[in-house]
Amino acid sequence: MPQLEEISIYLKGLWLLVSGKPEGLQWLDVSATGVWRSFAAILWCLPAMAVSWGAWRLFYLANMPPGTETGMLFIVKLFIIDLVAWIFPLMLMAILAKPLNYDGELAAIIVSSNWLSVPIFYAMAVPAAIRLVVPESDGLIGLLSLILLIVVFAVIFRLMKTVTGNQTLLASALTLLFVLPSFMIGDRLQTYFGLIPG
C-alpha cells in the first residue's frame, strides 16, 4: 500500500494537472503496475467513507420508526455502494476508450482519477461530519454539499482536460462519465438495499 510520502507526491502531480500543467503526469505512476496500485486509494478513503456512513446512518434513523436497528450489515451495504460507484465509471471509461480514441490516455485517466478521489472523498466528508456534530443542520449541509459538488465537477473537468491534451469535448464527456454513473448507480443500490428511509 502506498505510504503518505508517496501519496503527497501524487497529490502534487494532481495539483499541477488541475492547474493545466501536463508535467503533473510525471509525478504519477501511469505504468501498468501504477494503474493497479492506484486502487489503493480506496483504502486511503476508508476513514472519510466511514464519516459519511455514520452521517447517513444518523439521517436514516432520524427518519425511521423508533427501534429501527442498523447493524454491521448496514455499513457493509454502504461500503458496497461506494465501491461499485467507484469502479463502475472506470469500467465504462475502459470500455469506451478505443471507440472514443482515448485509449492512449486511459492509464493516466484511471491513475489520476483514482488518486483524485482521495481529496474528493475527504472534502465531501465535511458536510457529513457537520451532520454528526450538529444533526439539525440540514440547510447548511445542503448548501455546503452543493458548493462542493460544483467544485468537484470543475476540478475533474480541469484534470481530464489536461490529461487528454486540452480536448474540451472529450474532457466534458469523461467528466460526466466519471460523475453521473456514480450518482445513478449509488441511488439505485441505496433503494435496492433498503437504505432510503421512508
Residue 198 has pLDDT above 80, yes or no: no
Read off the pLDDT of residues 13-34 as tens digits, 9 standing for 90 and up: 999 999 999 999 999 999 999 9
Given this model, what pLDDT does residue 134 score? Answer: 87
Band of the pLDDT at 68, cuts 50, 70, 90? Answer: confident
Q: Which of 76, 84, 33, 85 is nearest to 53 (CA)?
A: 76
Given this model, what pLDDT does residue 72 score? Answer: 93
Given this model, what pLDDT does residue 1 score? Answer: 78
Domain count, the chain: 1
Whether residue 32 lies inside any domain: the answer is yes
Indicate the average pLDDT of the chain.
94
Integer Cα distance of 12 and 90 in angstroms: 22
- Average pLDDT (106-130) is 96
Q: Which of 148, 149, 130 is nearest to 59 (CA)?
A: 130
Domain span holding position 87: 4-192
Residue 51 has pLDDT above 80, yes or no: yes
Between these two residues, 197 and 159, which has the higher pLDDT value? 159
Whether residue 198 lies inside any domain: the answer is no
Q: Are 110 and 93 in contact (CB under 8 A)?
A: yes
Whether residue 197 lies inside any domain: the answer is no
Integer Cα distance of 119 and 5 in angstroms: 15
Whether residue 19 lies inside any domain: the answer is yes
Q: What angle do CA 171, 115, 91 make, to 5 degrees?
A: 60
